Structure 1
Amino acid sequence: MARLCRSFRKTLIQQLHNNHQQQQLLPSVHSAGKTSTNPQFRRTYVSEMRKSAFEGNILRLLRNEIQYELERSPVNQPMETFGSFILDDRSGEQWIRLKRKFGEDEDIKIEVTMFDGAVPAPKSGGVVGGGTDEDMHLHITFIVNISKGVGGDVLEIMCSAWPDSIEINRLFVRASDNTVAQPYAGPEFKELDDELQDCLYEFLESRGVNDDLAIVLHEYMKNKDRTEFIRWMETVKSFIEKK
């Protein structure tokens, strides 16, 4: 998607540049078959022509890009649940939220970003891929908050979702008012004992935070990324069309 946006912007800039060059070559302005001798009239007329051509180019590019995105593949209806999680997705936001109950007293809330990074995907034999979209592994950040009872401390676990796996980056305990419960927030996750790391992954997996969730999040965010991009272009188009 980032590649498509860059291509769209590049095309738009080129069109505006070409339009500016063409306007430099405009002949003397005619009105009703007669050449106007009023400099102010000529300036106003040329300015209006430039504005109309400028906006026309933007609208054409937006319509073409919207049509391309809609024809490339259908935009799926967002799901409302995944397993035991209830999903909350609000239009125009960069986040989605998941929540569920676990056991008798645990409340689990997960906040998930849209794609916020990428790394080269390894090829067969351990060779790192190139820089095209197909050669990149997109990254999603998500934060798991686990609380027990109202007003108690919250276990916060910061994670990464790769295309087919999750990765724990850090965890700490904070107070319910979002302040850190204690000054020492703990070490980086990879500094922990290997067996403890495995147990913490099992702790999350038993609560539905696992590799299957990573796969679902990537599919969901691909759809949301396109949906938000199309919505943004429609909004810009409607604004420019407004008289």
Structure 2
Amino acid sequence: MAAAMMLRRAAGPLRRTASKLLAEPRVALLPRAAPQCLSRVSDNLFFPARFASTQREASTQDSGLLRILGDEISHEEEEYEAPRGLARGPPQPFKLEDKPGKLEVTLRRSYGQEDIALTAMFQPGMGVEGEDYEEDEEVPEQNAVHLTVSITKGPDSPVLEFGCVIQKNDFQIGHVHFVEEKNAKEPNFDGPDFSQLDEQLQRQFKRYLDARGINEDLSNYLLDLLEDKEQREYQRWLRNVESFIRK
């Protein structure tokens, strides 16, 4: 009987502890961050589908762009025709330097002890602004080229530089610079405006260049060359863009 009383006394605290545990709120089986984790898992489950859809849309758009680029390339190739005068090359004894990707071209020659370099860059549409034409009147083609003529006499020589503007059958000197130091820190005196020089001096400067083969014939060659180069560079640009997108 004493043993039974001892068992009841020992069981009392256990019952009270069990009652407290049952009375307290149940602890959540998942941590508080679990909903966020589930959300991220859910997003990741559907991400491949969204990514695949985006890829399909980009592929469709790329295909459309490639098709238009291909059509433009074919059109340019069909329409392209090099001017006949270019087949003979530059007027002798000039040597042409023409690098792909550059609109600028250079012609070089020697004249006695002189080294002569002509540098030109095509600039479309110059010479027609400000003119009024009737609707049925043909607008003359007056593309202009800025031409720089540099003449030296040896590697350390000063530079006699002519700034010119050329158009079809027209060659005009804009200025004459004498550059004593090529890399001078201070600006050089550029010389007077060419149009303000004595007319006889202007004529002699033109004869000076003409004696070195720099004249209207060379101007016409440069105009044809640079218009042709612009077309070739446009085709090259189209092919480069198409190749990049196709990769």
TM-score range, shorter-chain basis?
A: 0.7 to 0.9
In structure 2, the CA distance between the partners of 1:165 and 1:178, relative to structure 1 (3 Å rule), is: farther
Contact 2:90 2:221 in 1 (8 A): no
- Deviation at residue 139 of structure 1 after TM alignment: 1.4
Confirm whether residue 87 of structure 1 aligns to residue 96 of structure 2: yes
Confirm whether residue 115 of structure 1 aligns to residue 115 of structure 2: no
Q: Counterpart of 1:98 in structure 2: which amino acid? A: L
The corresponding residue for 2:214 is: 209
In structure 2, the CA distance between the partners of 1:108 and 1:53, relative to structure 1 (3 Å rule), is: same
The corresponding residue for 1:96 is: 105
Residues 69-127 of structure 1 show CA distances to partners (whole Å, capped at 9, x for unaligned) of 1101335787654221111111111211111111x2111111111235512189xxxx7
Separation in structure 2 between the aligned mates of residue 96 and residue 157 of structure 1, nearest angstrom: 16
- Deviation at residue 41 of structure 1 after TM alignment: 4.7
Corresponding residue SS for 2:142: strand
Question: Could you say what the CA RMSD is over the residues aligned between the two structures, in angstroms?
Answer: 2.9
- Deviation at residue 166 of structure 1 after TM alignment: 1.4
**Identical residues among aligned pairs (%):** 26
In structure 2, the CA distance between the partners of 1:79 and 1:180, relative to structure 1 (3 Å rule), is: farther
Separation in structure 2 between the aligned mates of residue 207 and residue 180 of structure 1, nearest angstrom: 31
In structure 2, the CA distance between the partners of 1:218 and 1:93, relative to structure 1 (3 Å rule), is: same
The corresponding residue for 2:158 is: 153
Q: Which moved more, 1:177-186 or 1:162-171?
A: 177-186
Separation in structure 2 between the aligned mates of residue 199 and residue 175 of structure 1, nearest angstrom: 22
Corresponding residue SS for 2:238: helix
Separation in structure 1 between the aligned mates of residue 123 and residue 62 of structure 2, nearest angstrom: 31
Q: Which protein has greater RCO, CA pairs closer than 8 Å, 6+ apart?
A: 2
Q: Counterpart of 1:62 in structure 2: which amino acid? A: L
In structure 2, the CA distance between the partners of 1:211 and 1:63, relative to structure 1 (3 Å rule), is: same
Separation in structure 1 between the aligned mates of residue 110 and residue 186 of structure 2, nearest angstrom: 23
Separation in structure 2 between the aligned mates of residue 129 and residue 83 of structure 1, nearest angstrom: 39
TM-score normalised to the size of structure 2?
0.71
Unaligned runs of 5+ in 2: 1-44
Corresponding residue SS for 1:82: coil
Separation in structure 1 between the aligned mates of residue 91 and residue 185 of structure 2, nearest angstrom: 30
Q: Which runs of 4+ in 1 moved over 6 A?
A: 76-79, 130-133
Residues 125-150 of structure 1 show CA distances to partners (whole Å, capped at 9, x for unaligned) of xx744799954411111110111233
Separation in structure 2 between the aligned mates of residue 133 and residue 97 of structure 1, nearest angstrom: 33
In structure 2, the CA distance between the partners of 1:180 and 1:134, relative to structure 1 (3 Å rule), is: farther
Residues 1-243 of structure 1: pairs in structure 2 closer than 5 A: 40-75=47-82, 81-102=90-111, 104-115=112-123, 117-120=125-128, 128-129=132-133, 135-175=140-180, 177-179=182-184, 183-242=188-247
Separation in structure 2 between the aligned mates of residue 173 and residue 204 of structure 1, nearest angstrom: 15
The number of residue pairs the alignment matches comes to: 200
Residues 209-237 of structure 1 show CA distances to partners (whole Å, capped at 9, x for unaligned) of 11111110111111111111101110110
TM-score normalised to the size of structure 1?
0.72
- Deviation at residue 188 of structure 1 after TM alignment: 1.2
Separation in structure 2 between the aligned mates of residue 241 and residue 194 of structure 1, nearest angstrom: 60
Separation in structure 1 between the aligned mates of residue 138 and residue 159 of structure 2, nearest angstrom: 37
Corresponding residue SS for 1:151: coil
In structure 2, the CA distance between the partners of 1:211 and 1:129, relative to structure 1 (3 Å rule), is: farther
Q: Counterpart of 1:93 in structure 2: which amino acid? A: K
Separation in structure 2 between the aligned mates of residue 188 and residue 50 of structure 1, nearest angstrom: 60
Q: Counterpart of 1:59 in structure 2: which amino acid? A: L
- Deviation at residue 175 of structure 1 after TM alignment: 2.8
